[in-house]
């Protein structure tokens, strides 16, 4: 097989999604931190499943149409850093195949090289030893092999691509010392390898099925990725001519219309066929439909005009709209009480998608929109939403924790102009000291600290402070580390779910005995983490 077309890419994408889903838990377990938020496999699987589903629903064998749908589904469904990078890889893949009905082996290899380049450009500070390295080395080395062996077929190319990616993946611990210490390969790199494995198996005629416990790509991650370009909502009913009453095929009409629009529905009822399509070229849709019979009814509405009319009737824009990310009713209420207009549910263990941010942004009618991701693994998805809606004034503050987000909100003022607000919010959250208490989900050694499954662990901003079976021991260790900075004034304790009240009093007493900070206790009921601490 020497050509890649749309139908083949659909099968390969679904097989890649299934293989990734089947390996999701194993990839989650590769997370370096032994905390209950190792969700790289989950994020990548949810992201790629949406893209594959979107591609599979294209009624066309045109490679350009299917690659575009795959890219768009990935882009909107992207969750976590690994999901965003995956979406960028296949965005670059699609861009190189734009306008191609099918592609030969060389064009496919070039598309993966371009996908690598686009992914690197999307990351401000690319880190080697990650998914970026795996796709770069895999794409570049297999491309070089193809230049030396130009007669290989598509299957042989993918075998070489996979081989080069696996070599790169196995080398990631030599590029990132923490991977070597913990004894794992990069989780994101492992995820992209599983996608390519599934694609290769499909090429060989062995489409990967989902494991028994994962019988279908979950509808819970389904996503409306309808074309966001405004055009014409075109509907018509035709009565079939005699020549088509017997031989009419819905799939054939769908295929013809899919090339000029989306949101496509074709339904036959006896001799009548109803069609609905969103298209920039309604005349072309009517011409295609008229081949089969006479119009009984037709309607064309300008969605751009409707959109403009809706916007004109909306209330006057507010000066500011703030979107935050938090998990649990307590934290959601806390952010809303402190000025967030919308709180996107998510955080540790469940990262919101790009589309979640797009939906939240579209609910606001504000001149300036500020997003507080509150997790380092969510920042890229928020930025991707900003890029998709670049006609709006959207600002993503790179808050990496709940404490940083609340700190930034504390100095926001609706009376200030946007530049003053951004400067003050950035300065404030970047100058607080944070820590948290949770539990370990596996045995590991992290920067010399031995951790056992079930231990309580104290986390600083970027490292494990201590690990112990006695929870109060790690609490004291974290407090001792944080209060070394005597220039701060306020120590805040954010109390998680099902936390012992007496223990909270113990923490307050320990702080009062060992420091002169003002102590504030806030019932925030966050899941996963027993306590969040901040010092500012």
Domain boundary assignment for the chain: 3-221, 232-308, 315-429, 433-535
Q: Which tokens go with 395?
A: 């600002």
User: Is 222 a residue whose pLDDT tops 50?
Assistant: no
pLDDT tier, 51 (very low <50, low <70, confident <90, very high otherwise): very high
Q: What is the CATH number assigned to the segment(s) 315-429?
A: 3.40.50.510
Which pairs from 337-343 meet CB under 8 Å and 24+ separation?
338/406, 338/409, 338/410, 339/409, 339/412, 340/372, 340/409, 341/366
Domain range 3-221, its CATH number among 2.70.150.10, 1.25.40.340, 3.40.50.720, 1.10.20.60: 1.25.40.340
Q: Which residue has the higher pLDDT, 55 or 442?
A: 55
Q: Which tokens go with 378?
A: 């969510």
User: Any bridge partners for residue 531, and if so which?
Assistant: 437, 495
Instruction: State if pTM tops 0.85.
Output: no
Collect all residues with Cβ–Cβ distance below 8 Å to 278 and sequence separation of at least 6. Answer: 226, 227, 231, 232, 233, 234, 261, 262, 263, 303
Q: How far apart are CA 120 and CA 108, in angstroms?
A: 19
pLDDT at 162: 96
pLDDT over 70, % of the chain: 92
User: Is 503 a residue whose pLDDT tops 60?
Assistant: yes
Look over the chain and give the mean of its residue pLDDT values, rounded to a whole number. Answer: 87
CATH 3.30.70.3100 fits 232-308, yes or no: yes
Q: For 353, which DSSP code? A: B
Cα–Cα distances (Å) from 137 to 186, 355, 490, in that order, read 14, 30, 48
pLDDT at 434: 92
What's the CA angle centered on 136, arms 131 and 386, to 5 degrees?
60
pLDDT at 220: 42
**pLDDT average, residue stretch 257-263:** 76
pLDDT tier, 400 (very low <50, low <70, confident <90, very high otherwise): very high
Helices (H), 402-526: 402-410, 418-429, 471-482, 501-514
pLDDT tier, 33 (very low <50, low <70, confident <90, very high otherwise): low
End-to-end CA, the chain: 63
User: Is 165 a residue whose pLDDT tops 80?
Assistant: yes
pLDDT at 115: 95
pLDDT at 343: 93
**pLDDT average, residue stretch 349-353:** 80
Asked whether 459 and 485 are in contact (CB, 8 A), the reply is: no
Q: How far apart are CA 360 and CA 354, in angstroms?
A: 10
CATH 3.30.1180 fits 433-535, yes or no: yes
Give the pLDDT confidence of 119-149 residue by residue, as tens digits: 998 887 888 999 999 999 999 999 999 999 9
> Do 232-308 and 3-221 fall under one CATH topology?
no
User: Is 477 a residue whose pLDDT tops 90?
Assistant: yes
pLDDT tier, 278 (very low <50, low <70, confident <90, very high otherwise): confident
């Amino acid at each position: 097989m020497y050509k890649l077309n749309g139908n083949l890419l659909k099968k390969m994408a679904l097989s890649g999604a299934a293989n990734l889903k089947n390996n999701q838990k194993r990839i989650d377990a590769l997370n370096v931190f032994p905390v209950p938020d190792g969700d790289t496999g989950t994020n990548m699987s949810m992201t790629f499943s949406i893209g594959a589903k979107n591609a599979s629903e294209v009624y066309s064998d045109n490679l350009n149409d299917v690659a575009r749908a795959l890219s768009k589904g990935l882009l909107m469904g992207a969750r976590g850093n690994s999901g965003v990078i995956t979406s960028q890889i296949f965005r670059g893949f699609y861009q190189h195949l734009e306008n191609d009905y099918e592609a030969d082996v060389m064009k496919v290899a070039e598309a993966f090289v371009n996908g690598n380049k686009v992914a690197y450009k999307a990351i401000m500070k690319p880190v080697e030893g990650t998914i970026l390295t795996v796709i770069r080395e895999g794409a570049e080395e297999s491309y070089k092999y193809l230049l030396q062996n130009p007669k290989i077929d598509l299957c042989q190319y993918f075998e070489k691509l996979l081989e080069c990616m696996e070599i790169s993946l196995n080398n990631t611990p030599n590029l990132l010392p923490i991977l070597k210490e913990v004894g794992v390969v990069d989780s994101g790199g492992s995820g992209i390898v599983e996608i390519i494995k599934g694609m290769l198996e499909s090429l060989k005629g062995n489409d990967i099925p989902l494991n028994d416990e994962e019988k279908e790509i979950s509808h819970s991650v389904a996503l409306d990725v309808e074309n966001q370009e405004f055009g014409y909502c075109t509907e018509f009913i035709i009565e079939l001519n005699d020549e088509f009453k017997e031989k009419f095929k819905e799939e054939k009409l769908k295929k013809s219309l899919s090339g000029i629009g989306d949101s496509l529905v074709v339904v036959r009822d006896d001799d009548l066929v109803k069609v609905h399509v969103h298209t920039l070229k309604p005349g072309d849709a009517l011409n295609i439909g008229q081949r089969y019979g006479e119009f009984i009814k037709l309607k064309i509405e300008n969605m751009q005009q409707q959109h403009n009319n809706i916007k004109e009737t909306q209330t006057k824009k507010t000066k500011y709209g703030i979107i935050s990310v938090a998990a649990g009713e307590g934290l959601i209420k806390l952010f809303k009480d402190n000025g967030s207009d919308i709180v996107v549910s998510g955080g540790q263990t469940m990262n919101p998608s790009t589309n979640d941010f797009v939906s939240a942004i579209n609910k606001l009618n504000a001149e300036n929109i500020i997003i507080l991701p509150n997790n380092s693994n969510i920042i890229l998805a928020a930025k991707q939403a900003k890029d998709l809606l670049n006609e709006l004034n959207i600002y993503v503050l790179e808050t990496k924790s709940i404490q940083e987000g609340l700190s930034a909100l504390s100095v926001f003022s609706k009376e200030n102009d946007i530049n003053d607000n951004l400067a003050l919010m950035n300065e404030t959250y970047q100058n607080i000291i944070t820590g948290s208490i949770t539990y370990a989900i596996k045995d590991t050694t992290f920067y010399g600290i031995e951790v056992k499954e079930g231990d309580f662990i104290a986390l600083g901003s970027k490292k494990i402070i201590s690990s112990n079976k006695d929870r109060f021991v790690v609490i004291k260790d974290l407090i001792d580390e944080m209060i070394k900075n005597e220039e701060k004034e306020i120590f805040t304790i954010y109390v998680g779910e099902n936390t012992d009240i007496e223990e909270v009093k113990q923490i307050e007493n320990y702080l009062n005995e060992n420091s002169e900070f003002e102590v504030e206790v806030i019932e925030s009921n966050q899941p996963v983490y027993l306590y969040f601490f901040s010092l500012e």
